[in-house]
Amino acid sequence: MKSVTTNTPLELDESFEEHVATLHGELEQAIKWERPSILLALYSSEFVRADAEDALTAELNKLGQSVIHHHVSGRENADIPLSLSQQPDINHTVFFVSGLQWGGGEDGGNAYRALNYRREYFVDYHIRVIFWVTEEEAVALPNFAPDFWAFRHRVIEFFELPAPKHAAEIEDELYWASNEERALRQDTDSKIAFREELLKDFDETRETLATRADLLSSLANLYWVKRDYEKSADLWRQTRRLAERLKDTHLRVACYIGLGNIYRTIGWYKRGTTAFQRAIELDPASIPAYTGLGIVYRILGRYDEAINIYQQAIARNADEASPCNGLGWAFLVLGRHNEARNAFLHAVELDPKYISAWNGLGKTYASIGRNDEAIAAFRQAIKLDPSFTFSWNSLGGILMDLGNANDALRAFKEAIRIAPQTASSWNGLGNVYFRIDRPAEAISAFERAIELEPRAAEAYNGLGFAYACQGRADEAIASYLKAIEMDAKYALPHYNLGKIYNYLGRDDEAIASFQKAIRLDPGSGNGHISLAACFQNQGKSAKAEPQLAIARQLLEKEKEYDRALYASVCRKTDEALALLGIALNKKQIPAAWACLDPDLGFIRDDPRFLALVGE
């Protein structure tokens, strides 16, 4: 494993805007000199890709160029060079291509092989194209299409910082759940008052420096727990000055870790990584320093580096639970569920009271459908600390997904009783209320979540859905637009906005919203289903069929309600009604919305539909 030094590059040299400008510059020159351009944009987040596409489209339109998206959905459109060469007005078009892995054929390699065999088409037809490729596709491309790979002109890598809320969730899961921080949270104010009173009794003499430094460091930790980061940072700096006078390396390490925690928490990631790396240089055996650095990398989406750091920590001390816990969370985000499960199990084996690891284990089991084990893990976390709201929220979420609305309500209400200022608990409560057809209570819960966290896009989206269930279209639209304003990269409000526009007969706006949702989350089938339904309503079956083909590939992971929508749009009435019945029984959707959902309009006149949803 690689060692960590402060010379390790911590931040990308180029910003998102500079990456977009590079692509634009390449295309601008190709347009000017009427030559082909084959660009590869490597991305790890659909959010980044959508933002980059929007920015590039606006700039290309200024150059008189239109943009055509070509998403590979199967064998029928896997021959990309042939498809692009047949498009009209190539001289005034830039193509955005994605989905190479969906080309089908042996080893899923049809799209790659077509690029290899027909690579000359790009030159012969002066095609200008950006291939948006995931890391997996970037690995496969030179293997399946080595000659095409040599043809490319430029490769640009896009990375993304998460929204602050995402980073905050990581903080809460990984740090606030640890045993040390939970102990600090108990009677914090009285602990601070006691230590500050003690400090008054100590003159700053050589004999009292060590005691004073210990008091300052413990106060710094307590103020960090209170989230008074300015005060905490000031105390850590005071402590570091004393540590340097005392030549106390252990205390200096603690200071760098404390400052690293603060910098990481407030989003100063470069400073945070530098602080943690400095701590590691001073003490290569400092597990908290490795763990802190791993969290920064995880927040930044640099999961391979996070995994490497956690593994270094484990190699240093195999008896420490915290790096195993961090490793589990990194594996979980990457969908490497077996490795995540093993890491969390090892963490709780080393420390049976490690609540974050139990919560992570529960989320892992929930992700792979082992619901009973997930519930048991969440309940174990709650047993260890009944005040840990995140486990109550996790439990409420899985109970709701299983259709156990009453127990889900109790879980979220308990989380609110423990910490009434936690917006995510109110948001969860609102989700339960609207799924059991209690929209007025859902609206109140979402409004409370928004009051506590004014930028909570999920709560605005939930509020919009609660309004939609009551047929209050204008208020629903306003809420969805607010959710988009809070987080333009959040796909669900774009999708839900499309539903309302479709319901109101505003087809063009609905289509635009569904297309945006698909760009943000192409792995979800429901956007393709609803887009197909819109095209069908306009009599454009040729445009609807490719969307249904994509949806069909994605349906396996969708819930019964989305599969019912697909069956409805495909005019499979019996199948649609059977799936809708299951979905309503599981409380996946309120009956009020089923009565309004435009995608169910194809089966709504069937007497069995009325029997399912009631009067």
Domain-wise residue ranges, the chain: 16-157, 164-409
Specify the amino acid at residue 458: E
Which of the four pLDDT bands, split at 50, 70 and 90, describes residue 1?
A: very low
Lowest mean pLDDT segment, chosen from 188-192, 421-425, 441-445: 188-192
pLDDT digits (tens, 9 = 90+) for 533-560: 999 988 998 999 999 999 998 887 788 9
Strand partners, 39: 130, 154
Q: Give me 303's structure tokens.
A: 């999961």
Find the helix or strand (DSSP H, E) in which 60 lies. Answer: helix 46-62
* Mean pLDDT for all residues in the chain: 87
Fold of 164-409: 1.25.40
Note whether 378 and 394 are within 8 A (CB).
yes
Q: How far is CA 574 from the centre of its chain?
A: 36
| DSSP secondary structure letters along 486-534 | H-TT-HHHHHHHHHHHHHTT-HHHHHHHHHHHHHH-TT-HHHHHHHHHH
Note whether 374 and 399 are within 8 A (CB).
no
Considering the chain, what percentage of its residues have pLDDT values greater than 70? 91
**Cα within 13 Å of Cα(385), Cβ side:** 25
Note whether 512 and 527 are within 8 A (CB).
no
Q: Give me 463's structure tokens.
A: 């509020």
Contacts of residue 114, defined as CB under 8 A and 6 or more positions apart, other chains included, come to: 78, 79, 80, 81, 82, 103
pLDDT digits (tens, 9 = 90+) for 11-36: 333 456 688 889 999 999 999 999 99
Q: Which of the pair, 190 or 561, is modelled with greater confidence?
A: 561
Helix axes 135-144, 110-117, angle to 10 degrees: 50
265 φ, ψ to 5°?
A: -65, -40
Q: Which of the pair, 38 or 232, is modelled with greater confidence?
A: 38
pTM over 0.85: no
Handedness of CA 78, 82, 83, 84 (dihedral sign): positive
**Using CA atoms, how far apart are residues 254 and 251, in angstroms rounded to an integer?**
5
Picking from 143, 586, 111, the residue whose alpha carbon sits closest to that of residue 612 is: 586
Q: Which of the pair, 191 or 89, is modelled with greater confidence?
A: 89
Contacts of residue 200, defined as CB under 8 A and 6 or more positions apart, other chains included, come to: none
End-to-end CA distance of the chain: 65
pLDDT digits (tens, 9 = 90+) for 307-335: 999 999 999 999 999 999 999 999 998 88
**Cα within 13 Å of Cα(158), Cβ side:** 28
At residue 545, the pLDDT reads: 92
Fold of 16-157: Rossmann fold (3.40.50)
| DSSP secondary structure letters along 189-249 | HHHHHHHHHHHHT----GGGHHHHHHHHHHHHHHHHHTT-HHHHHHHHHHHHHHHHHHT-H
Widest Cα–Cα separation across the chain: 88
**Using CA atoms, how far apart are residues 478 and 463, in angstroms rounded to an integer?**
10
**Using CA atoms, how far apart are residues 43 and 49, in angstroms rounded to an integer?**
7
pLDDT digits (tens, 9 = 90+) for 152-209: 888 888 765 444 334 444 444 444 445 555 555 567 788 888 888 888 776 666 667 8
At residue 167, the pLDDT reads: 42
Give burial (CB, 10 Å; 0-12/13-18/19+) of 335. exposed
Q: Give me 233's structure tokens.
A: 């940072």
Which of the four pLDDT bands, split at 50, 70 and 90, describes residue 443?
A: very high
